[in-house]
Chain A
Amino acid sequence: MSDGTTRRLDLKGITKAFPGVLANDDVSFSVAPGEIHALLGENGAGKSTLVKMIYGIMQPDAGEIRFDGELVHVASPKAARAMGVGMVFQHFSLFEPMTVLENIALGLDEAISYADLEARIREVLETYQLSLDPHRTVATLSVGERQRIEIVRALLLEPRLLIMDEPTSVLTPQEVAQLFDTLRALAARGCSILYISHKLHEIVELCHSATILRGGRVVAECDPRAESSRSMAEMMIGGALKEIEKAADRSFGVERFIVGGLSLEADDAFGTSLKDISFSVRAGEIFGVAGVAGNGQNELMLALSGERPVESAGAINIDGNPVGTLNAEKRRRFGLCAVPEERNGHGAVPGFSLSDNAILTARTRKNMVRLGVIDAGVAESYTNEVIGGFAVKTTGAKAPASSLSGGNLQKFIMGREIMQAPDVLVVSQPTWGVDAGAAAAIHQELVDLAARGSAIVVISQDLDELMAISDTMAVMNEGKLSRTLAVGEASVDEIGLLMGGVHGDPDATADYAGATHAA
């Protein structure tokens, strides 16, 4: 150790192989006490595998892990927690009908009375200035508050290393600022933080050091404060970052996709009902729908794509044709294609070949069916067109969808819909879990499709993505859609406040924004 102090975490030569891939190849880096260390890399770079080994979910094939200078074998997450490692996962494991207190009690390794536990929880909340009511039911909490439960759960164990896996992907900008305050306070008390993310501006803002992984190997270590988002992105993808090419003089045509007074009851207790949603999208326009997850985006997607038809036909119109009561297949005949958020089991059937997955949504528009009989040849040639046109890496049209990486499958699904030349395209989270190279390609295809005169709706939680590709946008909050903003004139703060539910009162917005900036 060059500086002579004991490192909190020290990895040497960590290697882990799965059938067909080397997920981690000779990975070494270390984290000092009280340091916020970023682990950066594209999807599939090996970040998750690495932290799973630190947290004891899996064990390395080779290499050593030292914790506070001691060589350790982390046999299980329980062993990791006992050692002083806490982890907050990207996907929360919470029981919605139960209270905060009950949820935390369930996750503890030791048995402790509710009264003692509550006292300890309140102590942690006090220390880190977190607001959370231990007696509230999880179902009534926002995503930011739910994440706080996970953080409190980890902090109760007084960890010396806290691992945060993509913690901000579901938060509003204001919630992100609060989270960062908490993490800084934690680091100031000597707890090390391993922060996994692909959002570079956050890393620049928060982290003291960064390790960049690509293809399972460490390709660079840097001080994010001395780098730009762009320079780190290029280290991450190992090449120059492509800008989206968007014609500056683009103009919009007639309104092609009109939604008016769309309401839909949630179909389960924890869903969000849609309330009187109205917007319109013109030819050549990309309309972004921002919002924190769980505010009705899933229901909006199902209602727009036709997976859940609504009662009023006139609530949704494609080129003047009312289609509200039609199912997804009938809407495709009117020119509406869609890409849902979840790839596996929704956008595609994992066990089916790519060719069969092409039949799933392209059979009508691409004439794959005659008298109820499928023409496998037509399906296969269309599949090959999609594979070629969207540079999908696969062994061919007969390969099962499950054999493709997330990014490649997403490219295939996007390609399958875009090459049907839809008049209206509705996509949800188009680049969720997709590497930067594939994301750039998908963004460019969406912009190009709009340039050819289609109307496009993009529902996304990634505000940066929407700011980059959409022309106009609105924000969803509790099943309602805000007024439409032109992207050029909307500020991130304003959108963030709409995401948090401050609607249309300019004074309140200004006050609130001022308050957060001051804080």
Chain B
Amino acid sequence: MRLELVKRKQPSRAMLYLTPVFSVLLTMVVGATIFSLLGYDGPGAVWNIFFVPALDPNKWQDLGIKAAPLILIAIGLSVGFRANVWNIGAEGQYVIGGLAGTGVALATWQMEGWWILPLMCLAGVAGGMLYAAIPAFLKTKLNVNEILTSLMLTYVSVQLLYYLMRGPWKDPEGFNFPQSRMFTDSQMLPEIGNTFVHYGVPIAFLVALLAWFILSKTVFGFEIRVVGAAPNAARYGGFNRTRTIWTSLLAAGGLAGFAGILEAAGPYGQMVPQFPTGYGFTAIIVAFLGRLHPVGIMLAAIILAISYVGGEIAQSSIGLPNAASGLFQAMMLFFLLATDILVNYRVRFSGVRSGGAA
């Protein structure tokens, strides 16, 4: 008796939807085991990280706030990933978007008006797009791998942030703390009703629905899919690969920049050196766990938001280290990539060696 992988005639649709679920379940089982072996309360860790935030209505607002930037960034990344454009530097585009919006906020300090916040958002989008334009230019003109350039630019953006916080943009009234001025009311995202959920959260979900329409119903979405699936067929169909690389990187950069300014003008209300919290990297997991589909991305973003919020709960309740939620997130991606083989192969238990029967 042995295990065999047999190639399927057609990729399994059921497995396409099931393997993300498998990967989350496997993460829970393996995570519980690992933390038990490390001397923590393993099942408790899983309970705190995956179930407490989802079951406690008091935490739901927090989930929305954490999910919003993940959705925006992952949607942008999914456009590129569909077209085989591997932008790994959304974190950098997120930081630059936040900085560009902060620049507008600092320039309009002591001003008032309805136009300030939209202008900050525009600056955020433009900042992210410009930052993503660098790998796009290098890729299309010089054929430089965008994985490397976009990732390395992330570290550049973080250094730029540190410089601005410690130098030119330091709050003159901030007791020498390395952070910007607090944004004014005209520069902050309003909160919905009497919650502390800012307007960026519904906007993120609306962007996801819009992306679903564009990707599945328009020629642009079709082009992205063809370029990713078969570049020669795309050229034959009259689509331009260079244009696709540009648009997909600009879309990803723009949305990451947008997420950046929504974070700065929402939960933070100022720019701080701790601004890059890894949303740009976590969004990669969200994009894959959501099968690069906008609806899947919304669900995946909520799951990852749960793990963020749950990680914080587990820190205080059972003393799990801060890195635990990152470990769980990475396991989800790892198990997803591993179980994805089931989409194209099925498992067969066989008693006889093939070719032996006569």
Contact = CB atoms under 8 A, between A and B. Distances in A.
A348 B229 CA distance: 10
Given A19-B6, A62-B358, A349-B229, A359 B236 contact: no
A345 B226 CA distance: 10
A371 to B, nearest CB: 9
Instruction: Kindly list the 4 A-B residue pairs having the minimum CB-CB distance in the complex, ordered from nearest.
Output: A329-B238, A59-B355, A360-B237, A346-B232
Contacts of A59: 354-355
A305 interface: yes
A261 interface: no
B236 A369 contact: no
B232 A345 contact: yes
Contacts of B226: 349, 352, 360
Given A61-B354, A62-B357, A346-B230, A328 B235 contact: yes
A356 B226 CA distance: 10
Interface string A10-25: 0000000001100000
Interface stretch (B89-97, B124-132, B216-224, B283-291): B216-224
A372 B225 CA distance: 15
A351 B228 CA distance: 11
Interface string A221-258: 00000000000000000000000000000000000000
Interface in A335-380: 338, 340, 342, 345-352, 356, 359-361, 363, 369, 372-374
A330 B237 CA distance: 10
Given A59-B355, A345-B230, A374-B217, A356 B222 contact: yes
Contacts of B220: 372
A305 B236 contact: yes
Nearest to A399: B10
B322 interface: no
A63 B356 CA distance: 10
Contacts of B236: 305, 307, 328, 338, 340, 346-347, 360-361
A327 B238 contact: yes
Contact of A352 (B7, B8, B229): B229
Contact of B237 (A61, A63, A64, A329): A329
25 contacts: A19-B8, A20-B9, A59-B354, A59-B355, A61-B357, A63-B358, A306-B238, A307-B236, A327-B238, A329-B237, A330-B238, A340-B232, A346-B236, A348-B233, A349-B226, A349-B230, A352-B225, A352-B229, A360-B233, A360-B237, A361-B236, A363-B219, A372-B219, A400-B10, A403-B10
Nearest to A345: B230
B240 interface: yes
B238 A328 contact: yes
Interface size class of A (residues with CB under 8 A): 35 or more
Given A352-B229, A374-B222, A400-B10, 6 more contacts: A61-B354, A330-B238, A342-B232, A346-B233, A347-B236, A374-B217
Interface residues of B, number: 27
A329 B235 CA distance: 9
A347 B230 CA distance: 10
A319 B7 CA distance: 49
B9 A403 contact: yes
B233 A307 contact: no
Contacts of A340: 232, 236
Contacts of A374: 217-219, 222
Nearest to A59: B355
B328 to A, nearest CB: 32
B340 to A, nearest CB: 15
Nearest to A305: B236
Interface in B230-251: 230, 232-233, 235-240
A60 interface: yes
A328 B7 CA distance: 36
A477 B239 CA distance: 31
A217 interface: no
A255 to B, nearest CB: 25
A402 interface: yes
A372 B215 CA distance: 11
Interface in B284-340: none
A402 to B, nearest CB: 7
A332 interface: yes
A516 B11 CA distance: 53
A328 B237 contact: yes
Nearest to A327: B238
A400 B230 CA distance: 14
B230 A372 contact: no
B218 A351 contact: no
Contacts of B235: 307, 328
Contacts of B6: 19
B233 A345 contact: yes
Contact of B233 (A347, A369, A372, A373): A347
Contacts of B237: 328-329, 360-361
Interface in B180-228: 217-220, 222, 225-226
B14 to A, nearest CB: 16
Contacts of A63: 358
Contacts of B240: 327
Contacts of A356: 222
Interface string A386-429: 00000000000000101100000000000000000000000000
B84 to A, nearest CB: 13
Contacts of A332: 238
B180 to A, nearest CB: 41
Interface in B1-33: 6-11
A396 to B, nearest CB: 13
Contacts of B7: 19
Contacts of A342: 232
A62 B355 CA distance: 7
Nearest to B11: A351
Nearest to A62: B358
A403 B8 CA distance: 11
Contacts of A338: 236
Nearest to A375: B217
B357 A372 contact: no
A350 B230 contact: yes
A327 B239 CA distance: 8
Contacts of A350: 230
Nearest to A326: B238
A372 B357 CA distance: 57
